[in-house]
């Protein structure tokens, strides 16, 4: 199964072997599939299973890192506050003292073309 996925992920011209390495397709999805197979080399699944479980897991891992970086930035700017909860995990909340400033910034972002909404 891993070999089949590798062949699907790599275009015919990129299948050449150079110095013992395989040139891998630049497709992000192909990379995610290969990354999962490297992490779990004994697994196999159907197309539907790969979409539902493997890619979802890879996206979640990637998003966790992105969200962590964003929260670090927001805490450093004192726009978001962090506190340790009773469960010992960090909890995040809006800095109410800066809520008007934050609301205005969010409104400005929404009104710009090509902004993330």
pLDDT digits (tens, 9 = 90+) for 38-73: 888 998 988 888 888 888 888 888 889 899 999 999
**What is the pLDDT, as a whole number, of residue 5?**
40
Same domain, 83 and 42: no
Measured CA distances, 78 to 25, 68, 71, 89, 94 (Å): 41, 15, 10, 19, 9
Domain membership of residue 98 (yes or no) is yes
Domain membership of residue 67 (yes or no) is no
Q: pLDDT tens-digit profile of 85-113?
A: 999 999 999 999 999 999 999 989 888 76
Instruction: List the domain range (segments joined by +) for residue 50.
Output: 1-59
* Residues 46, 33: Cα–Cα separation, whole Å: 12
Same domain, 106 and 53: no
**What is the pLDDT, as a whole number, of residue 29?**
82
């Amino acid at each position: 199964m891993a070999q089949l996925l590798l062949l699907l992920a790599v275009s015919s011209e990129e299948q050449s072997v150079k110095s013992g390495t395989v040139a891998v397709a630049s497709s992000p999805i192909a990379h995610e599939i290969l990354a999962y197979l490297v992490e779990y080399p004994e697994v196999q699944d159907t197309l539907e299973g790969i979409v539902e479980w493997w890619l979802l897991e890879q996206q979640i891992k990637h998003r966790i890192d992105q969200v962590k970086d964003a929260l670090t930035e927001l805490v450093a700017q004192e726009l978001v506050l962090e506190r340790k909860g009773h469960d010992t995990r960090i909890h995040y909340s809006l800095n109410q003292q800066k809520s008007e400033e934050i609301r205005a910034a969010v409104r400005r972002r929404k009104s710009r073309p090509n902004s993330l909404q």
